[in-house]
Amino acid sequence: MKTVAEQDSSRVYANRLKYKAIMGICLIVLSYVIGWPGIVFFSWLSLHLKDPLWIAVGGPVIYGISHLVFLLGAYMVGKRYVDSYWKWGKHMISLMIHKNQQAGLPDTDTTRHLSDKKE
């Protein structure tokens, strides 16, 4: 497993984050805070005022704004941190898969059908 062998990406976490990276992370978190809650708010407003135009226009607008905030945050964090967190995520997923295989959990192959089952 390549991601398990690559432990050098954790060196990024040892250094203190720069102000720009911290602001980028805050913007990424903010994008999640304004995204779906904004959709819920415009849905509630649309139902309360009995005007579907609120959700039809406000929903995509607030969702687009949250995407722009997320992209700005990812840009501010920088490629170095994004790559290292991507490697860390792949590493964690591969560890979970490896752990499940060692535990003898049932096969999750979705390509087999019930009709293929041997009796």
| Tens of pLDDT, residues 62-87 | 999 999 999 999 888 887 777 877 78
In degrees, rounded to 5, the angle at the alpha carbon of residue 73 between the alpha carbons of residues 72 and 78 is 100
33-47 confidence digits (pLDDT tens) = 998 899 999 999 999
Domain enclosing residue 46, as ranges: 17-102
Helix intervals (H) in 50-78: 53-77
In the chain, % of residues over pLDDT 90 = 36
Question: Residue with structure tokens 């102000």?
Answer: 19
**Percent residues over pLDDT 70 in the chain:** 72
Domain total of the chain: 1
Identify whether 83 is part of a domain: yes
49 assigned to some structural domain: yes
Query: Is 97 within the bounds of a domain?
Result: yes
